[in-house]
């Protein structure tokens, strides 16, 4: 069922796109899956979900979406990336597989799988001043970490040890964790405020 809010897409080539569609629809957006360029043309903004960033990269190129996505992001389309989506939006990726590319847009250096393998996934509460109370309950699953933030980007949240796990830059928002699986809707709501 279509919401009355903005028509936003969720990149639906791989990863946990269904969860994002549900959250966005609960917030009133007209959320649709995006798998083709013509579907991208029909949305005002895009969420790039968690999943496997190297596979997502290959699929965006295979489906002819990589260049149109880069152009839309560079032109200011509101975009939100979680986990692998954050990697896809980073200008620079460390520990990328050979030939891996990103869409860019965030003036950051991100490291893939910074916390280790699946067995080292964890949950923690994170203070995010812009979102107020309560703290965000964050789930990290083979998550990246932002190793450095350029002058164009802004840190939104860090772990207790200072590692950066949420950033924004203009119309782009990125988190290293998965708010879509913990009923934490404030990041999606912040994304929707960009319309």
Q: Is 180 a catalytic residue?
A: yes
Q: Of these residues, 168, 178, 184, 188, which one is catalytic? A: 178
Q: Of these residues, 83, 168, 184, 188, which one is catalytic? A: 83
Give the residue carrying structure tokens 């280790």: 116
The whole-angstrom separation of Cα 78 and Cα 119 is 33
Q: Beta strands of the chain (E only): which ranges?
A: 7-11, 30-34, 45-48, 79-82, 90-94, 106-111, 122-126, 136-140, 145-149, 154-158, 164-169, 172-175
Contact criterion met (CB below 8 Å) for 136 and 43: no
Helix intervals (H) in the chain: 17-26, 37-41, 53-62, 66-74, 84-89, 186-192
Q: Is 52 a catalytic residue?
A: no
Q: Is 178 a catalytic residue?
A: yes
The whole-angstrom separation of Cα 140 and Cα 122 is 5
Question: Which residues are tagged catalytic?
Answer: 83, 178, 180
């Amino acid at each position: 069922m279509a919401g009355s809010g903005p028509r936003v897409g969720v990149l639906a080539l791989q990863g946990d796109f269904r969860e994002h569609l549900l959250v966005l629809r609960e917030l009133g957006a007209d959320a649709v899956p995006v798998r083709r360029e013509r579907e991208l043309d029909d949305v005002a903004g895009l969420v790039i979900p968690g999943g496997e960033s190297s596979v997502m990269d290959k699929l965006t190129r295979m489906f002819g979406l990589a260049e149109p996505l880069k152009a839309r992001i560079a032109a200011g389309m509101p975009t939100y990336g979680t986990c692998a989506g954050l990697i896809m939006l980073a200008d620079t990726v460390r520990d990328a597989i050979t030939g891996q590319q990103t869409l860019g847009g965030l003036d950051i250096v991100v490291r893939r799988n910074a916390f280790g393998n699946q067995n080292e996934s964890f949950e923690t509460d994170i203070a995010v001043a812009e979102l107020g109370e309560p703290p965000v309950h964050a789930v990290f699953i083979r998550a990246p970490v932002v190793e450095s933030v350029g002058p164009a980007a802004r840190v939104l949240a860090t772990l207790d040890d200072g590692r950066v796990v949420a950033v924004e830059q203009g119309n782009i928002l990125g988190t290293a964790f998965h708010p879509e699986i913990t009923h934490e809707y404030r990041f999606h709501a912040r994304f929707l405020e960009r319309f």
